[in-house]
Amino acid sequence: MENVFISENDTVLQAMKTFDTSGRRTVFIVDENKKLLAALSEGDVRRFILAGGDLNDAASTIANYKPRKLKEDEKGDARDFLRSHNIEGLPIVDDQGIVVDTVFWSENNLTKHSTLSTPVVMMAGGKGTRLYPYTRILPKPLIPVGEKPIAELILDGFAEYGISRMIMIVNHKKNMIKSYFAEADRPYEVEYADEDIPLGTGGGLALLRGKLDETFILTNCDILIEEDYSKIYAHHKAEGNIVTMVCSLRNFQVAYGVVEFGEHGNIIDMKEKPEFSFFTNTGIYIVEPEVFNYIKDNEFIGFPDIINRIKDDGGKVGVYPINENSWMDMGQLDELNKMENRLRGK
């Protein structure tokens, strides 16, 4: 229970780290006696970030100091309470307001997301050189993570939202990919666009010109995110973006002491193994069909370069921030085992 507690002095960044370490989407601010003071959700933090907030500000500045809660003898009603109030987590308190238990959506297998009908486009044509020697035999989309290939895990995740149209842009070892997805019945159909030559992480989209005239989800073939895609889609539409990029917080600690010095080598500051936090592109986007206006046929181009063209033309591009633990990337060998262990609950 204590792994979802933070103090009033903790920063927004520390709250986000607590989301990650606990695997929960709500944390509770308590005093030294564990008396409930406030609640803070991922949604609160996301709105704060999108408004330009500083991650080093105190989490208490954006927390809800009138949080919903239940008494111990009401805990049996918690599931219905979570559903009816559409909240992620709920503290259970005693007569003195001390938190004695918590109840969360994720531990009760409650489905929250709504359905989507938007198609999914997967960029699956690369050689996966960072995963060599595995990709010497298999194309990257078919690298197994547990009992399924990564591409199937990704598409199955989208299918849980009711999405039935999946499009894969393929090139390297494409016949192996097509053969695999033709083997079994699935609750979705897979279409293919064949690259005759490598076109980068964005150029292959031109193959869908005239075939896709609605908002779509664009994903790489080596990443999983544990987020509600319907919320990302709703945010994209509400903001009126041409592209919404899903970005994940990353915390990076330098393995050495960092020294800042001025003229004549005089030390100005010195920090031992400092930690930096930043948001990085996950490789998942919500995209409007206007994007095809910014790609030439048979042009080798990365999707970030297409985004820059849209921005330079005055088009609106936005972000949807997620926590570090919500993003799993198997693009490198050392991350592949981490993803597999996590999916197995280790």
Cα angle, residue 297 at apex, residues 294 and 302 outer, rounded to 5°: 55
Helices of type H across 125-204? 134-137, 150-159, 174-181, 200-203
pLDDT at 112 over 70: no
Tell me, rounded to whole angstroms, the distance of Cα 77 from its chain centroid. 31
- Determine the pLDDT at residue 265: 82
Decide which of 345 and 11 is more confident: 11
58-109 tens-digit pLDDT? 999 999 999 999 999 998 888 889 888 888 889 999 999 999 999 987 665 4
Mean pLDDT estimate for the chain: 90
At 25, is the secondary structure helix, strand, or coil?
A: coil
How far apart (Å, rounded) are the C-alpha atoms in residues 199 and 208? 13
Give per-residue burial for 12-30: e unless 16+ CB within 10 Å, then b: bbbbbbbbeebebbbbbbb
CB 153 within 8 A of CB 328: no
The average pLDDT across 175-181 equals 95
120-343 architecture in CATH?
Answer: Alpha-Beta Complex (3.90)
pLDDT of residue 127: 80
Do 120-343 and 2-107 fall under one CATH topology? Answer: no
Quote the CA–CA distance of 327 and 226 in Å, as a whole number. Answer: 7
Model pTM score? 0.85
Whether the upstream peptide bond of residue 139 has omega within 30° of 0, thus cis, is no
Task: Select the CATH number that applies to the domain covering 2-107 from these four: 1.10.1060.10, 3.10.580.10, 3.30.465.10, 3.40.50.300.
Answer: 3.10.580.10
Q: Taking the domains of the chain in order of start, what are their residue ranges?
A: 2-107, 120-343
Instruction: Write down the pLDDT at residue 86.
Output: 82
pLDDT score for 262: 83
pLDDT (0 to 100) of residue 343: 65
Predicted local confidence at residue 275, as pLDDT: 83
* Per-residue confidence (pLDDT) for residue 172, from 0 to 100: 92
Q: Which pLDDT belongs to residue 274? A: 84
Specify the amino acid at residue 143.
I
Q: What is the pLDDT of residue 129?
A: 74
Question: In this structure, are strands 120-124 and 216-220 parallel, antiparallel, or unpaired?
Answer: parallel
pLDDT of 314 higher than 90: yes
Share of the chain above pLDDT 90, in %: 63
pLDDT band for position 7 (50/70/90)? very high
Pinpoint the alpha helices (H) of 32-121.
42-50, 78-85
The packing angle between helices 150-159 and 174-181, to 10°, is 50
Contact predicate 223/328, CB 8 Å: yes
